[in-house]
């Protein structure tokens, strides 16, 4: 058995991973979708790696997850609302420090939506102005 992985052994079922410690393992890129297959995981430590991109929504669906450590990476954007809710209600111990471009509050969702709306308004105004210019000419 490895020291950084713990499994549950129930009857005749295949062993299921319940704890995985990949701290300082040289991981890079986005958090892989393969982690969503760890349906019985309780503790996941991905700290002190080079992980980038947004924290994926699928982590919110890991119902057995009670500890999530993402400290010391290069994650960006807003944390998924469901993860924030679970952290706030005490059902998930979540560590995310050391990710300077990661927004860790519900207010990020509002800012993100406003930014997306602005991104659509500017091209729309430019298009309408262009059409208006053609009609006058």
**Amino acid 110: pLDDT:** 53
| φ and ψ at residue 6, rounded to 5 degrees | -125, 140
Gyration radius (Cα) of the chain, Å? 21
H or E segment and range at residue 23: none
Residue 63 shares a structural domain with residue 126:
no
User: Which CATH number fits the domain that encloses residue 12?
Assistant: 3.80.10.10
Residue 24 shares a structural domain with residue 78:
yes
**Amino acid 54: pLDDT:** 97
d(CA 96, CA 69): 6
Q: Which domain holds residue 86?
A: 5-104
**Amino acid 38: pLDDT:** 94
CA-closest candidate to residue 96, choices 107, 80, 112, 111: 80
Looking at the structure of the chain, the number of domains it has is 2
d(CA 18, CA 87): 19
pLDDT one digit per residue (tens) for the chain, 137 residues: 567 888 888 888 888 899 999 999 999 999 999 999 999 999 999 999 999 999 999 999 999 999 999 999 999 999 999 999 999 999 999 999 999 999 988 777 554 545 555 455 445 444 544 544 454 55
Residue 81 shares a structural domain with residue 118:
no
d(CA 137, CA 133): 6
**Amino acid 56: pLDDT:** 98
Instruction: Give 61's Cβ-side CA count (13 Å radius).
Output: 9
Residue 96 shares a structural domain with residue 123:
no
């Amino acid at each position: 058995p490895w020291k950084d992985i713990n499994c549950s052994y129930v009857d005749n079922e295949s062993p299921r991973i319940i704890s995985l410690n990949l701290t300082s393992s040289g991981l890079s890129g986005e958090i892989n979708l393969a982690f969503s297959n760890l349906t019985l995981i309780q503790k996941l430590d991905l700290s002190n790696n080079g992980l980038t991109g947004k924290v994926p929504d699928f982590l919110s669906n890991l119902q057995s997850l009670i500890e999530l450590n993402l400290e010391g990476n290069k994650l960006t954007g807003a944390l998924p609302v469901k993860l924030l809710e679970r952290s706030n209600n005490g059902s998930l111990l979540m560590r995310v420090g050391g990710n300077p471009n990661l927004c860790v509050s519900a207010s990020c969702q509002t800012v993100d939506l406003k930014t997306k709306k602005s991104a659509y308004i500017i091209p729309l105004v430019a298009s309408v102005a262009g059409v208006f210019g053609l009609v006058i000419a």
